[in-house]
Chain A
Amino acid sequence: MYGRKGYQLIKDFATGEKGQLKPFNRKLFDETIEECDQNHHLIQSLIRWKMQQQGLDVQNNRNADHYGALIHHLSLIRNKRCLMAYVYNRAEIVRDLAWRVGLELLDLPSEIQEKLTTLEKEYFKNHSVALKSYMGKVGIELNVDMVPPKDPYIKVRILDDIDEGIVLSDKATNFARHSMHFLKRTDAEPYIARGLMEELTG
């Protein structure tokens, strides 16, 4: 009651790692909406029904119930803001994924795909399409790393079995699990983004 659910929803989001998605908390999300509905009903009952019963004018008459109604109203607004913030922040991460990981939904690791709702997937696709068409117009690939690399080559370790054949620009090799490779940064980047390789430093 009084904005607690919205608070919990935001808490749930904030406990996740920064920039990382948690599964969409449908239960809490629905409960928050439920709480908003309850608040709405109570305001209704406090103001409209009472006024109509007593035939009073809202403008001129103030009574104790007004304060109660105000509290309900504020918690309703707060819950709504929490809901918006939840969706907005998730959308931001989803957009970020498109920039950082890849423009195709299927490129995303399956564990991330599982965490997205259908609407979010839709949003991701639309955002990617918009981005792609813009990049096509400008003729620049905008989603590459902004910081120019010190070295065109990179040292990586393979974290997981990579089944599909990897296309490298000039050399072919076997990407067995736990093996280490020194290869072109551009070849490795998509796999690092998908969590199949890790960069070795130091």
Chain B
Amino acid sequence: MVRIQKVESFYAKLRESATSLSSQNPLLIFPSTSDVDSLCALKVITHILESDSIQYSCFPVSSFLEIHKYAGPAGLCSTSSESPPVTILLINWGCHRDLKLVLKLGPAARVFVVDSHRPIHLHNLSDYNEQVVVLHTDDDERQADLAYDFDVLKLANESFQLHVEEGGESDEEEEEEEDEEEEDEDDDDDDGDGDRPSKRRKMGDGVKVFKKLKRDYYKMGTFHGKPSGCLLFELSHMLRKNTNELLWLACVALTDQFVHERLTDERYQAAVMELEQHINSSGNIDKITSVTLKDGTKVRAPDCSRISYEEEPRLMLLREWTLFDSMLCSSYIATKLKTWSDNGIKKLKLLLARMGFALIECQQKFPYMSHEVKRKMKQEFDRFLPEYGLNDFYYRSFLRLHGYSSRVSAADVVYGITALLESFLGSGGSSASKQFGEAYDALSLNNLDKLRSGMQQAIKVQRAILRQGSAAITKTGCIRSGRKFRWVKIEDSMDAKYLGYPQALTKFCYFLMDALREKGARMKPMLCACASQQPGKLLVVGVCGKPRLGAVRGNAFGNAFRKAAQESRADYFHELFESSWIVLDASAVNSFMIRLTEKL
């Protein structure tokens, strides 16, 4: 059974496989280093594994083939059935490619996948592919941002069987090309419908329908399912192993998808409500926050740590920054007021003045800002911001209160941790895994200092986004516009240091799209290229706009990227965990863009 629909049975299977007597190896966990969600999910699942005393080894990876460096090809790919079984858990990567093929799994290896990337490769879902076990809950399928109205499981089974019958040797890419050919042929068929009795007809309508469905399935483009952190938190809840700490991780995982615009507002609201219920039921409301000393004085309890939910403003890292700078740089306000221009700054100052906040007060570090401003902030923002078209400035979010003075919001944690994850230098994957370690530490409450340093880094990244974004918007000809998409290349080498990472570049794309919308430009998908951390290489990220409920397709860049890169015959690296991320030779970018225009 390869698609598991219940989290508990997924875990039961995982545990059974990892603890089987014949296994010489501990459970191997490979979390993705590219998002905070995977970090949260890792922390939750390891907590559960630890309480069951299951030994594991965990190797953070940032691309598909890195796994072989750690697992040793002997264990993964060995073809003899004698070799000791290996159990592998992939966190937040892998399910959109045919894992059995890409990782060259031998019969002894068994892969478990918890991943929020969609669509899931049909071969991974198939019942007959015993070696790959994907967790894809029913709820998740029903609530997905993009819906399809056919039985995926049946489709998956047929697809896999066909694949096996065809020899099963063909490479994944070949298969995709094959699909393409079939598509063309099908078109021909439709044209000459009545004229010639096609041989193909005899293959039966079943196969044809199935091929069409399969094409539809992949053509939807990429999107995201339920955050892995939340999924695994549910598991811990069902196993009665949930703690407040894990609940907070689930909140951060959800906020990660929210901050990086990977889910619709509706789904976010639903998930927030679910988590709020968990927060209420795990005693966060009536926690003792003050103790009375012998002489009757009341003091706040020092070791109190709780989660609360509140309406938060869309101002990034407000608690680490000043109100003025946060408003100046946060994408939400900056793109509306155009704070990079003199006029925009004037508008911003005027707004503050109308709200009755002294400028000098707003430029004070937030912790030292006057209490009155903090108190009046929400009310005044709600009163004046709608005039500027900022209607949903406040959104429901989570806060972690710890000790006397520490108040961190989930969104700020996401910004900080993402910045930590994305501040490795050089080309080696090892430094990415080092940063993963840093981020891992920073996510626990005892290491606020590390988290703070991450937040400071995030501030630098955001400033770079504002600098480069405003430059691209104001300079004509900087953003090149194609028929189906726009694209821009970041030339500044100083800022490339901050922006040459997938998530930072994604934020940059969203910033540009928002800014262009304010200028009245038609909405088009956005591509952005920036020098990556490897010398001579460019990272290209494609963004299709914020996911909307009932949208027809997600991010369509994934397949197009691969094909365009193949055709342009350049060196490319498409093994990152999001198919809309690709690394190219710096010289090949122009020809890549030309091919891409043809593809889309």
Chain A residues close to B by CB (< 8 Å): 151-153, 155, 157, 171-174, 176-184, 200-202
Contact = CB atoms under 8 A, between A and B. Distances in A.
Interface string B50-70: 100111111110000000011
A202 B445 contact: yes
B545 interface: no
Contact of B26 (A151, A152, A173, A176): A173
6 contacts: A174-B57, A178-B434, A178-B437, A182-B49, A182-B56, A183-B26
B434 to A, nearest CB: 5
B433 A179 contact: yes
B50 A171 contact: no
B430 A181 contact: no
Contacts of B26: 171, 173, 181-183
Contacts of A173: 25-26, 28, 57
B248 interface: no
B56 A157 contact: no
A200 B28 CA distance: 18
B56 A178 contact: no
Given A153-B50, A171-B24, A172-B24, A179 B59 contact: yes
A183 B60 CA distance: 17
Given A171-B24, A182-B55, A183-B26, A176 B50 contact: no
Contacts of A151: 50, 53
Contact of A180 (B24, B58, B71, B430): B58
Interface string B432-449: 011011001100111000
Contacts of B197: none
B206 interface: no
B453 interface: no
A75 B412 CA distance: 61
B430 A178 contact: yes
B204 interface: no
Interface of B: 24-26, 28, 46, 49-50, 53-60, 69-72, 430, 433-434, 436-437, 440-441, 444-446
B490 to A, nearest CB: 29
B55 A171 contact: yes
A90 B164 CA distance: 70
Contact of B56 (A152, A174, A177, A181): A181
Nearest to A187: B55
A59 B57 CA distance: 80
A182 B50 contact: yes
B55 A178 contact: no
Nearest to B434: A178
A157 B437 contact: yes
Nearest to B436: A178
A159 to B, nearest CB: 9
Q: Which 6 A-B pairs have the closest CB atoms?
A: A178-B433, A180-B58, A202-B444, A173-B57, A179-B59, A171-B26
B430 A177 contact: yes
Nearest to B435: A178
A60 to B, nearest CB: 71
B50 A180 contact: no
Contacts of A179: 57-60, 70, 433
Contact of A171 (B25, B70, B430, B436): B25
Contacts of A176: 59, 69-70
Nearest to A176: B70
A183 B53 CA distance: 9
Given A173-B26, A181-B56, 7 more contacts: A151-B50, A155-B46, A171-B26, A179-B59, A182-B54, A184-B55, A202-B445
B71 A174 contact: yes
A152 B24 CA distance: 19
A151 B47 CA distance: 13
B433 A172 contact: no
Nearest to A202: B444
A137 B57 CA distance: 39
Contacts of B28: 173
A182 B56 CA distance: 5
A135 to B, nearest CB: 29
Contacts of A177: 430, 433-434
Contact of B53 (A153, A172, A174, A178): A153
B413 to A, nearest CB: 15
Contacts of A183: 26, 55, 57
Contacts of B430: 177-178
A155 B24 CA distance: 19
Nearest to A161: B430
A182 B220 CA distance: 40
Given A153-B55, A171-B24, A171-B26, A178 B445 contact: no
B251 to A, nearest CB: 17
A182 to B, nearest CB: 5
Nearest to B24: A172
B53 to A, nearest CB: 6
Nearest to B31: A180
Contacts of B445: 202
Contacts of A171: 24-26, 55
Given A153-B53, A153-B55, A172-B25, A178 B60 contact: yes
A181 to B, nearest CB: 5
A179 B59 CA distance: 5
A171 B28 CA distance: 12
Contacts of A202: 444-446
Contacts of A201: 446
B434 A180 contact: no
Contacts of B54: 182
A182 B54 CA distance: 8
Contacts of A181: 26, 55-58
A179 B440 CA distance: 12
Nearest to B23: A171
Contacts of B53: 151-153
A176 B68 CA distance: 12
Contacts of A200: 440-441
Given A155-B50, A181-B26, A174 B55 contact: no
Nearest to A174: B70
